[in-house]
Amino acid sequence: MYNEKVMEAFKNPKNVGEIENYDGIGVVGNASCGDIMQITIKVENNVIVDAKFKTFGCAAAVATSSTATDMVIGMTLEEALEVTNKKVVEVLEGLPPQKIHCSVLAEEAIKKAIEDYRSKQGK
């Protein structure tokens, strides 16, 4: 059901963990639905210099977390806000239809982490 790219991202996920002294955190989903995603980011000069994730969820949730964090590292906050779930799915070369909601979680977690950072900056 999953393509090789998704399985590879699930097997060897990048950016697993939580950044110490992170600048922003986003947690989305809930355990009763079977999906929780937490993304922490480190921001320097308006650029995401590091991003890490922790995920409770299926293989697609892990793969999209890994891919989404990988995509936003090195992006400005404005660029990162434009990372949509569709773009994450494209990088993974597709997800089964019932798994699309996992990629939505990744997009939301990043947006929330950026919002959290900005609110802490008082902007």
Partner 1 sequence: MQKIYLDHAATTAVLPEVVEKMLPYFSGVYGNASSQHFYGREAQKALDEARDTIAKIINAHPSEVYFTSGGTEADNWAMKGIARAYESKGKHVITTAIEHPAVLGACKDLERVGFEVSYIGVNKNGVIDLDKLVSEIRSDTILISCMYANNEIGTIQPIEQIAKIAKERNIAFFTDAVQAMPVIDIDVKKVGMDAMSFSSHKFNGPKGIGVLYVRNGLKIKSMVSGGHQERTKRGGTSNVALAVGMAEALRLNRLTLKQDYAYVEGLRDYFVKRVEEEIPFAYLNGDRQNRVPSNADFSFEFIEGESILFSLDLEGIAVSSGSACSSGSLDPSHVLLAIGVEEALAHGSIRFSFGKDNTKEQVDYTVDKLKEIISRLRAMSPLYKLNSEIKKV
State the minimum distance, in angstroms, from the CB of residue 28 to partner 1: 10
77 binding partner 1? (CB under 8 A):
no
Tell me whether residue 74 or residue 96 sits nearer to partner 1 (CB atom): 96
Tell me whether residue 66 or residue 117 sits nearer to partner 1 (CB atom): 66
Catalytic residue among 18, 33, 34, 90: 33
Would you put residue 15 in left (φ > 0), alpha (ψ -120 to 50) or beta? left
Establish whether 102 is a catalytic residue: yes
Question: Both tokens of residue 100?
Answer: 């699309």
Tell me whether residue 97 or residue 122 sits nearer to partner 1 (CB atom): 97
What is the crossing angle of helices 100-121 and 59-72, to 10°?
40
State the minimum distance, in angstroms, from the CB of residue 19 to partner 1: 13
- Residue 108 sits at φ, ψ, to 5 deg, of -65, -40
Q: CA-CA distance, 93 to 55, in Å (whole number)? A: 21
Q: Which residues are catalytic?
A: 33, 102
